[in-house]
Each structure stands twice: as C-alpha cells, then as structure tokens.
Structure 1
Amino acid sequence: MISWFMEQTLLLSLVCVTLLISHRFLLSKIGAHYTYSLWLVVPLLPLADVVQTLLPQYFNWLSPNQTLGVIQQYYVQATDTASMSSSWFKLLYLPYLYAAVVLVLVVNLVSDSIHLQQLTRRAKPFVIESGKLNVFIHPNIESPMLVGLIAPQILVPNSFTLLDSHQQDAIIQHELYHYQRGDLWANILAYSLTIMFWFNPLMWCAYRRFRQDQELSCDAQVTANMETDSKIAYSKALLAYSQHAPLSMLHTHYGDKTILKERILQMKKQHGKNTLVLMGVTLLLSVSALTLNQQAQAGDNQSQTQAKADGIYPTTRIEPVYPIGAAKEGMNGYVQLSFDINPAGKVSNVMVIKSSPAGVFDDSAVTALEQWQYQTSANGMKGAQVQLDFVIHQPDASVERIQVR
C-alpha cells in the first residue's frame, strides 16, 4: 500500500506541477472551459491504476510485444537513514499518523456540512426567477453561493437586493451553471483525493487552482453572449462580492478577491466551448491516464510488467522488512523463492530456491510473500517464482546476481 501511494504521489505531482506551471499559457490559448476540464486527469490517474489492477486482461493493448518473464523480480530498498532510525519508524508508525490526519480532515468536512445546514434553515425565500433552483436570502453570508448536495439551493446575502435585475440574473445563472455541471460533487471528489494525498503540498495547491478555474469557467459561460455594458455590470458585481471567503468543499464561492483581477481580465478573452470537444478532451485524458500509469509500472520493473501481460501478478504486495543487522552493515542481497497460488489468489507452499548471502534475508522474504495476494484465476498456479532483491547501495561486485531474461 505504501509503495502504491508513493507511485501515485509521483505521478500526481508531475501532473499537478505541469498544470500549475502552464496554467497561464493554457488559459490564454484554450480558454477557461478547456483549462478547467484538464483537471480531470488528476482523479483519472489513481482510478486508471485501480482499473488496470482489477481488469488487466482488457489493457494488454497498452503494453504490446511483451515477452513472457521466467521469474518476477522486485526490489526491496532501504536507505542509510532508515537503517539508523528504524526504531523511530516503529514508534511513529506512519499508518496511524496518516489515519489521524485523514480523520481530522473528514471531521472538518462534517463540521462544514453542519454549518451549511444551519445557514439554510435560517434563510428566507427570495422571490426571483431562477429556473430549477430556489433562491434564499441570509443576512450572515457575504457572497452568493450554491449549497446542498441532495437538495441544492442558492443562497444570497442581503446586499443582493441592491443590484439591478441584470446583475442579479447573471449571478443566478452563474450559480445555476455550477449546479447543471455538478460542481458540488466534483468538489467533493477533488477534496477526497486531496485528503488521500494530504502529505503532498502540491495536491493542496492544485485543489485551490481547480476551484478557481471552476469559477473562471462559470464566468466564461455566463458572459459568453453579453454585450460590453453587461460585462461591465457583471464585473461590478464581482467587485461587490470580492471578500475573501474561506474555501469550502460543500458550496461554491462566488466572491474571491484572490482571483478578482484574473476573472475580470478573462472576460475580455472569450473562447468558445464545444460539447463534443470537451468529450474528446475527457476521452483523451482517460487514455493518457491509463498510458501514464502503464508506463510508470513498466519503468518501475520490466519483469513486473511482463508478469502482468501474462495475467500472473500480485494485486497486494507486502514489502519485506529489511533486517536491521543487514541494514546497519550495509549488506545487499537477494532471495529467490517458489510458491503456489490458489484460484482465490492466496499464496502457499513458499520455499527458498536460492539466496545470497545465504540465510540473511530468507525469513523476511518468506514472511512477506506469504501475505501477498495475486489475481484470482480459474486454476491458480503451481511453482510460480519470484526474486526479491534487497538493496541499500548499488550491488557489490561480490554479490551473485541472477540475470532475468
């Protein structure tokens, strides 16, 4: 599980950095709608990896011309720092720390939900033609917002009554577009992914930029057919609600002074939106996510990819514990094992075929392999083989190596 998180963190970091660095260029060249749609690749990356793991037989076309590997080979790595402070890692026990932070973030989400429910209960109906949603007015909010996953409604502040009818209609249409596009659910998905990878600061930066692009995209939709005077009036409404409200996961934030200038300038650079093109972009991103995950797995270990092509690969792989004594002495080595896999994917009859140095890494390798879970199959497999390479530094010349062909 830890190795999966690390692999996905590297991929997500690469994608987020690319989108954040190229954001201004993308916004100027392809517009707010398509720039916003590009963020879809972020949740598609881990989803693509899960789908490939569960249904590998449907994705062999992503890795053609693979030859069948004789033996699977995996690396078990340890650093000098880890070997000197292994006892500290046991005390900290990272899974508990990870779960504690996730719990805090989930509690924050629940607290936000309770607060919004209290707001909606105290809000009063506001008579305005809005189409599909009811509009309510509340004295304790500073900006119009869309709230409610199950029963959506639009909340507006008391100052909303001071705007002219055209400005009111434009703001309502802005929030309605959030609703029609399902942005509240998209926000929950984005925040859930951010919770999963909370330890990666790039995910938080990407989440904030995603939410800002969401507002830019709605602005582009509402002002696409506006005359200049109407755009000026809409800009004044943005200015009126430019308070910096906290970024909430469960409602939209119409007023945001951090991107006020960007939103006004973007209205001068309208780009068209084509539904078919957006669908094409989505399809392209899906294929790209599948390919990127496939390449990452292939780059991590060639023999592992060959095993996947044959349909014999672990869906759950427990990393062996690097023996403390071997780590302190800087010892490298390998263990070659044979084992059986039953139809349910369980491992049994683990036996050491060969190891070097003899007996040093054997117990750790056997204990880990017995906990692996392989893909389910009709008949299972007898006599499967795997090689676990224990590596701190580059392998010494004195350590015997098995060449996998």
Structure 2
Amino acid sequence: MFSWLMEQTLLLSLVCSLLLISHRFLLSQIGAHYTYSLWAIVPLLPLADVLQTLLPQYFTWLSPNQALGVIQQYYVLATDTASMSSSVFKFLYLPYLYAAVLLALVVHLVSVSIHLQRLTWRAKPLAIESGKLNVLIHPSIQSPMLVGLIVPKILVPNSFALLDSHQRQAIIQHELYHYQRGDLWANVLAYSLTMMFWFNPLMWLAYRRFRQDQELSCDAQVTATMETDSKIAYSKALLAYSQHAPLSMLHTHYGDKTILKERILQMKKQHGKNTLVLMGVTLLLSVSALTLNQQAQAGDSQNHTQAKADGIYPTIRIEPTYPIEAAKEGVNGYVQLSFDINPTGKVSNVIVTKSSPAGVFDDSALAALKQWEYQRSAKGQKGAQVQLDFVIHLPDESVERIQVR
C-alpha cells in the first residue's frame, strides 16, 4: 500500500506542479472552462494505475504481455538487513500515523457536513424561480451555496433578499450550473484523493486551485451573455459575499475572497466553450494518464525495467534476509530461481536453478520469493526467472553487468 502511495504521489506531484505553475498562462490562453477540465488528469492518474493492475488484458496496447526473456535481477544488500532491525520500530508506526491523520480528516469532514445538514433542516423555503432546485434561506448562512449530494438544494443568507432581481437570478444560475455539471460529486472525488495523499502539500494546493477554477468556470458560464451593466452588478454580488470563510470543503461557495480580483478580471476575458472540445480534452487526459503511469512504471528502480516492459513485474516484493554469518564473513553470492505466476499475480512452484555459493543463500531467497506478488494478467506466466544478487555493497556503476538470457 505504502509503495503504491509513494509511486503515485511522485507522479501526482509532477502533474500538480505543472498545472499550478502554468495556471496563469493556461487561464489566459484557453479560458476558465478548459483550464478547469485539465484537473481531471489528477484523479485519472491513480485510476489508470488501478485499472492496469486489475484489468491488464485491456491494456496490452500499452504494455504487450510478452514472454519473459530476461532474468530479472535484484540486489539484496547486507546493509539493508543490518539496518532493518534498528529501523523496524520506526517503520511500524507509519501505518498508524497515516490512518490516524486520515481518520481525523474524515471525522472533521463528517462533523462539518452534519452541521450543514442541520442548518438545511432549519432553513426556510424562499419563493424564487430556481429551476429544479429548492432555494432555502437561513440567517447563519453567510454565502450562497449548493449543498446535498442526494437531494441538492441552494442555501442563501438573509442578505440575499436585499439584492436586486438580476443579481439574485445570476447567483441562482451560478449554483444551478454547479448542479448540472455535477460539481458536488467532483468535489467529493477531489477531496477524497487529497485526504488519501494528505502528506503531500502539493495535493492541498492543487485542491484549492481546483475549487477556485471551479468557481471561475461557473462565472464564465453565467456571464457569457451578460451586458457590461449586468457584469458590474454580478461583480458587486461577488464582493458582498467574498468576506466569509467556506463552511465546508465539499459544498460550493459563491463567495471566495482569495480570488475575488481574479474572478472579476476574468469576466473581461471570455473564452468560448465547446462540449465536443471538452469531451476531447477529457479523452486526451485519460490516454495521457495511462501513458504517464506506464512511463512511471517503466522508469522504476533496480534491474526490473525489462520485466516491466514485458508486462510482468512484482507489485509486492519481500526483501530476502541476508544470512548473518555470510554478512560477517563478507560473502557475496547469487541465487537464480524459476517459478510460475498465476493470473492473480501469486507465485508458485518456486525452485532454485542455480546458486553460488551453493546452499548459502538458497533458503532466504526461497522464503522471500514465495511471498512476492506480481501484476495481474490474463494468463499468468510459466517458468519466470529471477536472480537475487546478495552483495555486501553495490558494485561500482562503471563495472559492466551482463544479463543472462
């Protein structure tokens, strides 16, 4: 689990960094709608990796499942074995720390959602044309918002009644567009992914920018056909509701003081929106996510790049224990093993085909390899081979290594 999280967080960090750094340029060149759609690549990256693992038969065009022709080689370092005993206690608490922080975030989210739900129950209906959604008014609400995943509603503050009819209607249209586009569910997905990678600050920055782009996109939709006077009135409504902090991380909030200036300036730079182009961008992002994950896997460390290119590689690899006596005497060696991989990735029929020195490292290599798990595949693999090199220190990079076929 943690190896997968680390692998994915590196790739997500790269993508989020690119989107954050290039955000101003993208917004000026392609507009709010397309910039917002680019954030779809973030959840698509881990999803693509999961799909490739669970349904490898459908992704052979990315990674053809060829016969494994090269013996996979891995180093087993004596230094790793020696340090493992001293660091095992430090490692054991990591899953508990991760789970504790994740649980705290979930509890906070649930408590805020319950508070907002109670406000909704006590809110009074407001007689205003709002299409499919009911509009409720409550004195404790500070900014108009869309709430409710199952039965969405628009919540507004008491000050909403003081706005003129054009401003009220523009705000309602803004929240309706959130509803029509499914932004509440998009927020659930985005925040769930952020909580999963809570240890990565870039994910929090990306989530914040994603929510801001969500509002910019809605502004662009609502003001696309407005005259200048209407846009000014809309901007005044933004100003009136921009001084309050959001009530929830999931629900949409009309006011956001952190990007008030950006939202007003963006109204002057209208970019068109084409549904077919948005679908094309989404498809392009999906293919990019699959390709990026494949490249990330192909660039993994240790000598199993060829195995990943062949479409068969370990997803869980248990390190063999370096025999203590061999480590004390400075003995190096290797063990070559043959084994089968079933379609679920489990290892079976493990045998030692060659080892040197004979019998020194065999038991350790056998015990470890039986616990390995490989990528799922349609047919599995018969007669796969791996070589475990037991070395006190890594050989110098200038020393040429020959792979045995």
Question: Do they superpose with TM above 0.5?
Answer: yes
Q: Which residue in the other structure is 2:318 paired with?
A: 319
- Within the candidate set 289, 303, 307, 1:304 is matched to 307
- Aligned mates of 2:47, 2:78 — CA distance in 1: 29
- Superposed, 1:213-292 pairs within 5 Å as 213-246=213-246, 248-292=248-292
* Whole-angstrom CA distance in 1 between matches of 2:342 and 2:316: 16
Q: Secondary structure at the match of 1:61?
A: coil
Q: Distance in 2 between matches of 1:11 and 1:328?
A: 40
Contact 2:77–2:391, Cα closer than 8 Å, also in 1: yes
Task: Provide TM-score, normalisation by structure 2.
Answer: 0.88
Q: Which residue of 2 aligns with 1:59?
A: 59
| Per-residue CA distance 1:153-183 (angstroms, 9 max, x = gap) | 0000001011000000000100000000000
In structure 1, the partner of 2:349 is: 349
Aligned residues: 400
Aligned with 2:40: secondary structure?
A: helix
Cα shift at 1:346: 3.0
Q: CA deviation at 1:340?
A: 3.0
Q: Map 1:166-177 onto structure 2 (within 5 A).
A: 166-177=166-177
Match for residue 184 of structure 2? 184
Give the Cα–Cα distance (whole angstroms) in 2 for the partners of residues 39 and 392 of structure 1: 46
Q: Secondary structure of 2:39's partner?
A: helix
For the structure 1 residues 197 and 368, does the alpha-carbon distance in structure 2 shift closer, same or farther, using more than 3 Å as the test? farther
Deviation at 1:353, TM superposition (A): 3.5
The SS at the match of 2:268 is coil
CA contact 1:332–1:393 (8 Å) conserved in 2: no
Q: 1:24 to 1:90 in 2, by over 3 A?
A: same
Aligned pair in 2 of structure 1 residues 339, 156: CA closer, same or farther (>3 Å)? same
| CA deviation string 1:173-194 (max 9, x = no partner) | 0000000000000001001111
SS at 1:62 equivalent: coil
The code of the aligned residue for 1:155 comes to L
Look up the SS of the partner of 1:141 in the other structure: coil
Give the CA deviation at 1:351.
2.9
CA distance in 2, matches of 1:330, 1:5: 35
Normalised to the residue count of structure 1, the TM-score between the two structures is: 0.88
Superposed, 1:5-404 pairs within 5 Å as 5-63=5-63, 68-74=68-74, 84=83, 86-93=85-92, 94-246=94-246, 248-300=248-300, 301-308=304-311, 312-314=312-314, 316-320=315-319, 323=322, 335-342=335-342, 345-355=345-355, 362-374=362-374, 381-388=381-388, 394-396=394-396, 403-404=403-404
DSSP 3-state at the match of 2:30: helix
Query: Structure 1, residues 275-303: CA drift from partner, whole Å, max 9, x if none?
Result: 00000000000001111111111222422
The answer to whether the Cα contact below 8 Å between 2:78 and 2:391 also exists between their aligned partners in 1 is yes
Residues 331 and 130 of structure 1: CA distance in aligned 2, closer, same or farther (over 3 Å): farther
Q: Which moved more, 1:377-386 or 1:3-12?
A: 377-386
CA distance in 2, matches of 1:280, 1:118: 41
Higher mean C-alpha displacement, 69-78 vs 199-208: 69-78
**Structure 1 vs Structure 2 CA RMSD:** 3.2
Report the CA distance shift for 1:391/1:136 in structure 2 as closer, same or farther (over 3 A): farther
User: 2: distance between equivalents of 1:203 and 1:77?
Assistant: 34
Identity in percent: 82
* Cα distance change of structure 1 residues 219 and 379 upon mapping to structure 2, 3 Å threshold: closer
Q: Which runs of no fewer than 5 residues in structure 2 stay unpaired?
A: none
